[in-house]
Amino acid sequence: NAGVARFQFTADPAKLAKLQTAARLERPLVTIHTTGDPIVPIWHQALYRDRLPFFSRLLHTPITINRYGHCKFTDAEVLAAFAVLVLKVSGYNLLVSGDVLPGSQEQAEFLRLSRRYGASPVLTPPTSLR
Protein backbone atom coordinates (compact mmCIF):
# COMPACT_ATOMS: atom_id res chain seq x y z
CA ASN A 1 0.00 0.00 0.00
CA ALA A 2 2.90 2.37 0.63
CA GLY A 3 3.65 2.51 -3.10
CA VAL A 4 0.11 3.50 -4.09
CA ALA A 5 -0.19 7.11 -5.25
CA ARG A 6 -2.51 9.17 -3.09
CA PHE A 7 -4.87 11.84 -4.33
CA GLN A 8 -4.58 15.13 -2.51
CA PHE A 9 -7.22 17.78 -2.97
CA THR A 10 -7.76 21.17 -1.43
CA ALA A 11 -11.11 22.75 -2.19
CA ASP A 12 -11.24 26.28 -3.54
CA PRO A 13 -12.90 28.36 -0.76
CA ALA A 14 -14.58 30.65 -3.34
CA LYS A 15 -16.27 27.67 -4.98
CA LEU A 16 -17.22 26.15 -1.63
CA ALA A 17 -18.92 29.41 -0.66
CA LYS A 18 -21.42 28.87 -3.50
CA LEU A 19 -22.33 25.39 -2.25
CA GLN A 20 -25.83 25.43 -0.77
CA THR A 21 -26.41 22.87 1.98
CA ALA A 22 -29.49 24.38 3.62
CA ALA A 23 -31.91 21.89 1.99
CA ARG A 24 -34.06 24.65 0.50
CA LEU A 25 -35.52 23.47 -2.79
CA GLU A 26 -36.23 26.10 -5.41
CA ARG A 27 -37.76 23.77 -7.99
CA PRO A 28 -39.42 20.36 -7.97
CA LEU A 29 -37.37 17.32 -7.05
CA VAL A 30 -38.42 13.71 -7.62
CA THR A 31 -36.38 11.01 -5.90
CA ILE A 32 -36.70 7.26 -6.44
CA HIS A 33 -35.48 4.69 -3.92
CA THR A 34 -35.76 0.94 -3.39
CA THR A 35 -36.91 -0.21 0.06
CA GLY A 36 -34.19 -2.86 0.30
CA ASP A 37 -31.18 -0.81 -0.78
CA PRO A 38 -28.14 -2.30 1.05
CA ILE A 39 -25.90 0.66 0.19
CA VAL A 40 -28.14 3.69 0.82
CA PRO A 41 -30.85 2.56 3.28
CA ILE A 42 -34.43 3.67 2.62
CA TRP A 43 -34.50 5.66 5.85
CA HIS A 44 -32.04 8.11 4.26
CA GLN A 45 -34.92 9.30 2.08
CA ALA A 46 -36.99 10.08 5.20
CA LEU A 47 -34.01 11.82 6.84
CA TYR A 48 -33.58 14.02 3.77
CA ARG A 49 -37.28 14.84 3.64
CA ASP A 50 -37.37 15.64 7.36
CA ARG A 51 -34.51 18.10 6.86
CA LEU A 52 -36.46 20.05 4.24
CA PRO A 53 -38.29 23.18 5.37
CA PHE A 54 -42.08 22.99 4.95
CA PHE A 55 -42.35 24.76 1.57
CA SER A 56 -39.40 22.81 0.16
CA ARG A 57 -41.11 19.61 1.26
CA LEU A 58 -44.01 20.55 -1.01
CA LEU A 59 -41.58 20.48 -3.95
CA HIS A 60 -40.23 17.02 -3.10
CA THR A 61 -41.88 13.86 -4.44
CA PRO A 62 -40.29 10.71 -3.01
CA ILE A 63 -41.05 7.56 -5.01
CA THR A 64 -40.56 4.28 -3.18
CA ILE A 65 -40.06 0.99 -5.01
CA ASN A 66 -40.63 -2.16 -2.95
CA ARG A 67 -37.58 -4.20 -4.01
CA TYR A 68 -34.13 -5.27 -2.86
CA GLY A 69 -31.07 -3.73 -4.49
CA HIS A 70 -29.27 -0.47 -5.10
CA CYS A 71 -30.74 1.48 -8.03
CA LYS A 72 -32.47 -1.65 -9.37
CA PHE A 73 -35.18 0.23 -11.22
CA THR A 74 -37.08 -0.98 -14.26
CA ASP A 75 -37.39 1.18 -17.36
CA ALA A 76 -41.06 1.71 -16.47
CA GLU A 77 -40.16 2.99 -12.98
CA VAL A 78 -37.51 5.41 -14.23
CA LEU A 79 -39.83 6.71 -16.95
CA ALA A 80 -42.67 7.12 -14.41
CA ALA A 81 -40.39 9.18 -12.14
CA PHE A 82 -39.46 11.31 -15.16
CA ALA A 83 -43.15 11.74 -16.08
CA VAL A 84 -43.88 12.96 -12.54
CA LEU A 85 -40.94 15.39 -12.72
CA VAL A 86 -42.07 16.75 -16.11
CA LEU A 87 -45.55 17.37 -14.69
CA LYS A 88 -44.19 19.06 -11.55
CA VAL A 89 -41.82 21.31 -13.52
CA SER A 90 -43.92 22.18 -16.56
CA GLY A 91 -47.51 21.49 -15.56
CA TYR A 92 -47.88 19.20 -18.57
CA ASN A 93 -48.17 15.44 -18.78
CA LEU A 94 -45.49 13.55 -20.65
CA LEU A 95 -46.21 12.17 -24.12
CA VAL A 96 -44.48 8.78 -24.46
CA SER A 97 -44.07 6.63 -27.54
CA GLY A 98 -45.15 3.03 -27.06
CA ASP A 99 -41.80 2.11 -28.65
CA VAL A 100 -40.06 3.11 -25.40
CA LEU A 101 -41.90 0.46 -23.38
CA PRO A 102 -42.92 -2.20 -25.91
CA GLY A 103 -44.39 -4.72 -23.44
CA SER A 104 -47.96 -4.32 -22.24
CA GLN A 105 -46.93 -5.18 -18.65
CA GLU A 106 -44.23 -2.49 -18.73
CA GLN A 107 -46.72 0.03 -20.07
CA ALA A 108 -49.27 -0.86 -17.39
CA GLU A 109 -46.65 -0.55 -14.63
CA PHE A 110 -45.51 2.81 -16.02
CA LEU A 111 -49.06 4.18 -16.09
CA ARG A 112 -49.92 2.78 -12.63
CA LEU A 113 -46.84 4.26 -10.96
CA SER A 114 -47.16 7.59 -12.79
CA ARG A 115 -50.80 7.95 -11.72
CA ARG A 116 -49.99 6.94 -8.15
CA TYR A 117 -47.81 10.05 -7.93
CA GLY A 118 -50.19 12.40 -9.74
CA ALA A 119 -49.07 12.28 -13.38
CA SER A 120 -51.25 11.16 -16.29
CA PRO A 121 -48.82 10.53 -19.14
CA VAL A 122 -50.12 9.71 -22.60
CA LEU A 123 -48.82 6.57 -24.31
CA THR A 124 -48.95 6.69 -28.10
CA PRO A 125 -49.11 3.44 -30.10
CA PRO A 126 -45.76 1.96 -31.18
CA THR A 127 -44.68 2.97 -34.69
CA SER A 128 -45.29 -0.59 -35.88
CA LEU A 129 -49.03 -0.10 -35.18
CA ARG A 130 -49.40 3.32 -36.79
- Is 75 a domain residue? yes
Mean pLDDT of the chain: 91
- Is 53 a domain residue? yes
- Is 22 a domain residue? no
Q: Determine the pLDDT at residue 79.
A: 96
- Is 65 a domain residue? yes
Residue 67, pLDDT above cutoff 80? yes
- Is 82 a domain residue? yes
- Is 48 a domain residue? yes
Indicate yes or no: pTM above 0.85.
no
- Is 85 a domain residue? yes
- Is 81 a domain residue? yes
Q: Are 88 and 60 in contact (CB under 8 A)?
A: no
Please tell me the total count of domains within the chain.
Answer: 1
Q: What is the pLDDT of residues 78-125, one digit of tens each?
A: 999 999 999 999 999 999 998 999 889 999 999 999 999 999 999 998
Domain of residue 53: give its range: 27-129
